Structure 1
Amino acid sequence: MLINPAAPADKPETQQMKVIHRVLRREFTQLPDLIAGVSVGDTARARLLGDHLSLVLDMLHEHHEAEDELLWPALSKRVPLEKDLITVMETQHEAIADAVDVVAAELPAWRADAGAGARDRLVGSLRALGPALAEHLDLEEEKVLPLIHDHLTVPEWVAPQKHAMKHGPKTLNGKLTLAGMVLEDATPRERGWFLGEMPAPARLLWRVMGARRYDAHVRLVRTGSS
């Protein structure tokens, strides 16, 4: 794992979570407008954006599930005086999960026929989810990450990341797309961390074909052209 040179070697590198948050902010900001721009009846584009949205929703779910199962219990044990803050985190997760469920329930109808009504309902639900997610991510970075850095061990910090990776995409295409989303806006140091965490065969696969495939995919998603 690549460690911030300014941080003690035995402290969690919490910048890693900000990398994931950056992906979530970017995708949930862009997707409502991209979906709103899909012409009625364009089922090919609806399927493309629907598949991409599903991957992002799964990424958010796995990220929050790992925190719920591993991160909040560890923080509650180490910093009991911050119980109220952790409760806020859990409550926000529940609200976001409810909003995600609405989006996930509306997605199949639009993906199937690219109808105007289904599209507009989906866009509205995504735009309702965005601010709640942004508020949560902001609070987590401002208040929670410093607590993690000061009070959790590196193994306690790494456990949720391993959980999320284990339960991530099962297909090769999904894995490469997720890797591309994380690496897209990463700094050189962040890219070094992420690639360093990948098994050597996966790292080689990314360099040989993954980067090229992701570039083509993201062009299709954002512009409709390869």
Structure 2
Amino acid sequence: MNNEPTGLLLAHRAMLRDLDRCADLTARLALDNSLDRKRAGAIAAYLTDFCDSIHHHHSAEDEVLWPVLERSAGAHVDLTELTDDHAVLDPKLARIRSGAAALATNHVVSAELAADLADLRDTLHEHIADEERTIVPLIKQYVSDDEWNRVEATIRRRGGKMSFEVPRILAVCTEQELAETRKEGGIPVALMIKLLPLPFKRRESLVFGGAR
């Protein structure tokens, strides 16, 4: 077996990109809160969608991927530390959601919200590095292509906001990864690739301004 978990790695790449730019954005705005109602609402909505995306990702790992790894790799896998990491994420996400709700109401990025995003960024950078170092080799060695395809299909059926997820994934794809995604996804994926990025770029422009 030499299964490359491209979807997992792309999700991580998109997550890390957003962690960095959301933490940087809120750190700047906490020092200079010159926000109008529209941009404040857009940032708050983006942060809320981002928290939902992170929750969906780590819940899918806990409930879908981890059981497959434990069954396939047996004694070769110990997921205790990664599971413990996931357990601390939801309180962190809850604080960011609360800060985003206050931002939408008050049009002010609080120092607390900026600090919470910096903390989440640091936590997940470390966690994702640990996960890719330990889990990816196990997937390649012990999980068959068919089993991995079932994992990805199950995770897709669990939902997720495609108008948010797809453009963020596309933004971190290499040309080769994009070509493979088009080939494997067929017409539905081709349509999403064509239709979803433009409105998302407008959303990003409002949220991040000139920063990408």
Out of 24, 28, 31, the position equivalent to 1:37 is 28
| Deviation, structure 1 residue 164 | 3.4
Determine the structure 1 residue equivalent to 2:166: 179
Question: Is 1:59 equivalent to 2:53 in the alignment?
Answer: yes
Q: Is the 8 A contact 1:67 1:160 kept in 2?
A: no
Return the letter of the residue paired with 1:108. A
Show CA shifts across 1:148-188 (max 9, x none): 1110122332334333333334xxxx523321110012101
For residue 205 of structure 1, report the CA deviation from its aligned partner. 4.9
Q: Are positions 1:113 and 2:106 aligned together?
A: yes
Shift of 1:224: 6.2
Structure 2 CA distance for partners of 1:204 and 1:79, relative to 1, 3 Å = closer
Aligned to 1:3: none
1-structure distance, mates of 2:180, 2:56? 20
In structure 2, what is the equivalent of residue 212 of structure 1? 198
1:197–1:94 distance in 2 versus 1, CA, 3 Å: farther
Following superposition, the deviation at residue 22 of structure 1 comes to 0.6
CA distance in 1, matches of 2:206, 2:197: 14
For residue 178 of structure 2, what is the aligned residue in structure 1?
191
- Return the structure number with greater relative CO, CA threshold 8 A, min gap 6: 2
Q: Calculate the TM-score normalised by the size of structure 1.
A: 0.81
Q: Does the Cα contact within 8 Å between 1:12 and 1:148 map onto a contact in 2? A: yes
Show structure 1 runs of 4+ deviating over 6 A. none
Counting aligned pairs with the same residue, the percent is: 24
Q: CA RMSD in A?
A: 2.3
In the superposition, relative to structure 1, how do residues 109 and 199 fare at CA in structure 2: closer, same or farther (>3 Å)? farther
- The answer as to whether partners of 2:100 and 2:113 remain within 8 angstroms in 1 is yes
State the distance in 2 between where 1:58 and 1:22 align. Answer: 16
Say yes or no: does 1:68 pair with 2:67: no
Gaps of 5+ in 2: none
TM superposition score normalised by structure 2 = 0.86
Q: Are residue 137 (structure 1) and residue 155 (structure 2) matched?
A: no
